[in-house]
Amino acid sequence: MISGHAFANENFEIIKLQTDGLYKKIKLNETGGSFRVPLSACVSEGDLIEISKNKVYTVCKNGLAQIFPYYVSKKNLERDGLEIDIIFKEITDADEFRSYQKLAASHYRNQRAFGRVSRLIARNFDPLYPKVIGYIELGTALYMNKARSRILNSPFSYNGISWQSWDTNALRANINLMVRITRCVVLPEFRGLGLGQKLVMSAIEFARDHWQIGGLKPYFLEISADMLKFVPFVEKSGMLFIGETEGNLERVWKDMGYLIKNSERVKEKEIVQRGKSGIVDQQISRMNRAIKLMEDNGLSFEDIIEKMKNLSKEKVLKDFDLFHQIISLPKPSYMMGLNESAQKFLMERIKEINVSRNKVAKGISIEPIEGPISINKVSVSFRSEVRRTRKTHAIQQAFGISPSHIETQIINDLSMSISPGEIILITGSSGSGKTTLLNMLSSKKEHSCTPIIQGDFFFPSNYRPSSLKGVHSKKALIELFKGKDVPSSLYLMGVVGLSDAFVYLKRFKELSEGQKYRFLLAYMLSSGANVWLLDEFCSNLDPMTAKAVAGGIQRIARKFGATVIAASPHYENFISSLNPDRVLRLTSAGEGTIIERDKFIELSGLKKRKIKVPSLKISQKYVDQIFRNQKVTTIREGRKNIRPGFMLFESKEQNLIVNVKSVKYKSLLNLDDFDAIKDGFVSKVELMEELERIYPNISERSTVTIIEFEPEIKIV
């Protein structure tokens, strides 16, 4: 809330800033009053603030950075039978913060970023999942980045900012033209659905309009991360590879030697003061870790410097536990311009320098089958001997039967041809023969009874089937892919939704049942088999993970020409993602019916699952009134099904989150002046004129819905 002044294009200085829960409380100079903004707002004491109509900005040397209204964006995640609205926003609610904390605690790098940090969350409205299903952090750029320096070392000029070469003076003057993605985290159930790209797009929008530090709006967004070696997800958002960072392996002993020797001066802030840049904060933290390392391990100054001096890439593995929070190895670095001139500059420099990167290794190599798999008039039954006992004799007498053996027909006269690269889903109730058919396709005979098989199977000469097999090993998962390097192994696990560093280092028996299933899929993909036989497909996965896994399997199979035959009694959560060409429906009576995918979905009555954000369209002219607390209701024609709680108001220029306090219904005739005033009008007459303009067919007998609300932040 902003209070204490009537604003109209005026500038004020921030004279005091303090934390107030999830907000920053800002006090302006004597005539400006005070207000609150989210913790992610990019403001500091001494900043100049411009307040214009219904917006508040920080005044920068190269433009205005918006701090109010705060960032809110609705984006749609649509894939494979799922359509879900997600709100990307700054944290403003205690429940959002708690949900974010739980997700952050599960991440393998749950450490505080250095310098200024702004955090955006992906707010979910599906009651089956947490409120926060992902987040992305923007932070102060690190001072040194060899790849960035190389790219920027050319004349540049835009909007009053320029340099001839990226030398020390240019770096000092313009480092804050960079903003860095420090972390991007997605809830495991939503990995593989494109949420990471949506988070990056939100970060781009926030950086362009809301970020500033040191009085400079950013021109470039950057990210450097080890994971980008294996999963370069930011490329889909338009970010460009510019090279690798240098790391500190060669100089760490010099940096730490200087800081440790001068640690008292650092603590007294005589040298390298915190808060000046992200790299300074990072170096001080590394110094503190090195000092603690000396104390915990009884190492002298000379000992630890000697160990650091002798480090090499080959020795890092041996000493990683000792130095992993102090050393950093080269990382892939990506950038993008936040305006047209900056992006054009980057693209020209990348072409000029001829920046290229090694392609991400793929862990799959498949030779498609040379011809169809033919099943010709196949019937399968099982015979079991009946042991004579008093109890079995009682059953025989009760039901009037007297067999010495029981013969059960599972499959009756099934014929079908499966083409190379085709995806087939086999479904049916338990006992209908799904597993039996897959076992015959894999040449297995895993049944307590001897099958009686009639008919023929014909397989192409290069037929190499594979199915899910158990793993008995004490090795970490990353070591189990024979003949595969680390990038290939990570690619395989990423395909099936395993993309967490902790998981890579676990043993198979330490995984959850869902994680075990996904790893077995990855393990099968690594075998080079050209026919994938998947029994009980996705049966122990939650709906969102099932969609991600099935979608990954389908896309990889189509790309490499693998033939997929999956069996499951429950297909509702993944059939759109698996996108089978045909469905084989088996029954307990031994019948088998082949149905085209679209027809099967139609017959099954399956519909696209939609999760919508509670939202209403609102004219921009009313947004100003809402921010200034002059409008606390909105009146809509008809009886609307609106519930108290979260509501997104959408206008052409901006989105606004409000809390719906109450919902009432009245006839148009019974509206009064009090209703009009709460809706921002002077009288009932003025309100009626506006309603008749918006709803030409409205009448006095028409029912209207009165929605009373309160915005999260407002200007008074």
* DSSP per position, 82-100: EEEEEEEEE--SHHHHHHH
- Kindly state the DSSP code that residue 639 receives in the 8-state scheme: -
The pLDDT of residue 394 is 79
Q: Which residue has the higher pLDDT, 287 or 123?
A: 123
Q: What is the pLDDT of residues 46-100, one digit of tens each?
A: 999 998 877 899 999 999 999 989 999 999 988 766 788 999 999 999 999 999 9
CATH number of the domain where residue 162 is located: 3.40.630.30
The pLDDT of residue 318 is 54
The pLDDT of residue 582 is 95
Q: What is the mean pLDDT of residues 520-536?
A: 88
Give the mean pLDDT of the chain: 86
Q: Is residue 263 domain-shared with residue 190, that is, in the same domain? A: no
Q: What is the pLDDT of residues 410-464, one digit of tens each?
A: 888 899 999 999 999 999 988 888 988 998 898 755 444 567 788 899 999 999 9
Q: Quick check: 349 pLDDT over 90?
A: yes
The pLDDT of residue 369 is 95
The domain boundary residue, chosen from 610, 636, 667: 610
- For residues 431 and 388, what is the distance between their CA atoms, to the nearest angstrom? 25
Flag whether 462 is in a domain: yes
- For residues 71 and 17, what is the distance between their CA atoms, to the nearest angstrom? 20
The pLDDT of residue 1 is 45
- For residues 534 and 225, what is the distance between their CA atoms, to the nearest angstrom? 35
Flag whether 480 is in a domain: yes
Look at strands 82-90 and 609-611 and give their pairing: parallel
Q: Which residue shows structure tokens 């599906």?
A: 126
Which phi and psi angles does 297 have, rounded to 5°? -110, 5
Residues spanned by the domain of 282 = 252-323
Flag whether 384 is in a domain: yes
Q: Are 338 and 326 in contact (CB under 8 A)?
A: no
Q: Mark out the alpha helices in 628-716 (DSSP H runs).
A: 673-678, 684-694
Q: Per DSSP, what are the bridge partners of residue 423?
A: 564
- For residues 56 and 12, what is the distance between their CA atoms, to the nearest angstrom? 11
- For residues 511 and 497, what is the distance between their CA atoms, to the nearest angstrom? 13
CB atoms within 10 A of CB 459: 16
Per-range mean pLDDT, top range of 229-243, 265-279, 333-347: 333-347
CATH number of the domain where residue 657 is located: 2.30.130.30
- For residues 567 and 515, what is the distance between their CA atoms, to the nearest angstrom? 19
Q: What is the mean pLDDT of residues 614-623?
A: 91
Q: What is the mean pLDDT of residues 161-189?
A: 94
Flag whether 716 is in a domain: no
- The H or E element containing residue 413 is strand 405-418
The pLDDT of residue 668 is 93
The domain boundary residue, chosen from 572, 594, 610: 610
Q: How confident is the model at residue 15 (pLDDT cuts 50, 70, 90)?
A: very high
Q: Are 71 and 119 in contact (CB under 8 A)?
A: no
3-class state of residue 551 by DSSP: helix
Q: Are 466 and 532 in contact (CB under 8 A)?
A: yes
- For residues 671 and 684, what is the distance between their CA atoms, to the nearest angstrom? 7
- 421-452 in b/e burial notation, b at 16+ Cβ within 10 A? bbbbbbbbeeebbbbbbbbbbbeeeeeeeeee
The pLDDT of residue 637 is 95
Question: Is 30 exposed, middle or buried (CB count within 10 Å of its CB: 0-12, 13-18, 19+)?
Answer: exposed
Q: Is residue 35 domain-shared with residue 152, that is, in the same domain? A: no
Rounded to a whole number, what is the distance in angstroms from the first to the last CA of the chain? 7
Q: What is the mean pLDDT of residues 164-171?
A: 95
Q: Are 671 and 704 in contact (CB under 8 A)?
A: yes
% the chain with pLDDT above 90: 45
Q: What is the mean pLDDT of residues 329-340?
A: 91
Q: Is residue 604 domain-shared with residue 619, that is, in the same domain? A: no
Q: Which residue has the higher pLDDT, 714 or 647?
A: 647
Which phi and psi angles does 291 have, rounded to 5°? -65, -45
Q: Is residue 579 domain-shared with residue 681, that is, in the same domain? A: no
- For residues 217 and 524, what is the distance between their CA atoms, to the nearest angstrom? 49
- Least trusted range by pLDDT, from 57-71, 129-143, 319-333, 422-436: 319-333
- For residues 631 and 624, what is the distance between their CA atoms, to the nearest angstrom? 9
Flag whether 586 is in a domain: yes
Q: Is residue 184 domain-shared with residue 267, that is, in the same domain? A: no
Domain count, the chain: 5
Q: What is the pLDDT of residues 460-498, one digit of tens each?
A: 999 999 988 778 888 899 888 887 877 788 888 877 778
Alpha carbons within 13 A on the beta-carbon side of 620: 7
Per-range mean pLDDT, top range of 20-34, 169-183, 297-311: 169-183
Q: Are 623 and 55 in contact (CB under 8 A)?
A: no
- Whether the ω angle into residue 465 lies within 30 degrees of 0, i.e. cis, is no
* DSSP symbols for 32-86: T-EEEEETTS---TT-EEEEETTEEEEEETTEEEEEESPPEEEEEEEETTEEEEE
Flag whether 382 is in a domain: yes
Q: Which two tokens stand for residue 412?
A: 């009756």
Q: Which residue shows structure tokens 């009090």?
A: 674
Q: Is residue 199 domain-shared with residue 94, that is, in the same domain? A: yes
The domain boundary residue, chosen from 593, 610, 627: 610
Flag whether 24 is in a domain: yes
Flag whether 8 is in a domain: yes
List of E strands, 419-571: 423-427, 450-458, 465-467, 531-534, 563-567
The pLDDT of residue 4 is 44
Q: Which residue has the higher pLDDT, 550 or 279?
A: 550
Q: Which residue has the higher pLDDT, 466 or 306?
A: 466
- For residues 328 and 676, what is the distance between their CA atoms, to the nearest angstrom? 63
**What's 317-375 look like in SS3?**
HHHHHHHCCCCCCCCEEEEEECCHHHHHHHHHHHHHHCCCCCCCCCCCCCCCCCCCEEE
| Greatest Cα pair distance in the chain | 101
Q: Which residue has the higher pLDDT, 1 or 237?
A: 237
Q: Which two tokens stand for residue 567?
A: 């069996």
Q: What is the mean pLDDT of residues 651-669?
A: 92
Q: Is residue 672 domain-shared with residue 628, that is, in the same domain? A: yes
The pLDDT of residue 8 is 53
Q: Quick check: 337 pLDDT over 90?
A: yes
Q: Is residue 409 domain-shared with residue 503, that is, in the same domain? A: yes
Q: Quick check: 128 pLDDT over 70?
A: yes
Q: Is residue 529 domain-shared with residue 636, that is, in the same domain? A: no
Q: How confident is the model at residue 314 (pLDDT cuts 50, 70, 90)?
A: low
Q: Are 171 and 60 in contact (CB under 8 A)?
A: no
CATH number of the domain where residue 396 is located: 3.40.50.300
Q: Is residue 502 domain-shared with residue 575, that is, in the same domain? A: yes
The pLDDT of residue 214 is 92
Q: What is the pLDDT of residues 221-239, one digit of tens each?
A: 999 987 787 777 888 889 9
| Beta carbons within 8 Å of 664's beta carbon, 6+ residues apart | 705, 706, 708
- Least trusted range by pLDDT, from 27-41, 240-254, 352-366, 524-538: 352-366
Q: What is the mean pLDDT of residues 389-396?
A: 78
Q: Is residue 491 domain-shared with residue 468, that is, in the same domain? A: yes
How large is the C-alpha radius of gyration of the chain? 32
Distance of CA 239 to the CA centre of its chain: 17
- Least trusted range by pLDDT, from 35-44, 47-56, 355-364, 616-625: 355-364
Q: What is the mean pLDDT of residues 609-620?
A: 89
Q: Quick check: 138 pLDDT over 90?
A: yes
Q: Is residue 532 domain-shared with residue 591, that is, in the same domain? A: yes
Q: What is the mean pLDDT of residues 596-616?
A: 84
The pLDDT of residue 534 is 92
- For residues 337 and 340, what is the distance between their CA atoms, to the nearest angstrom? 7
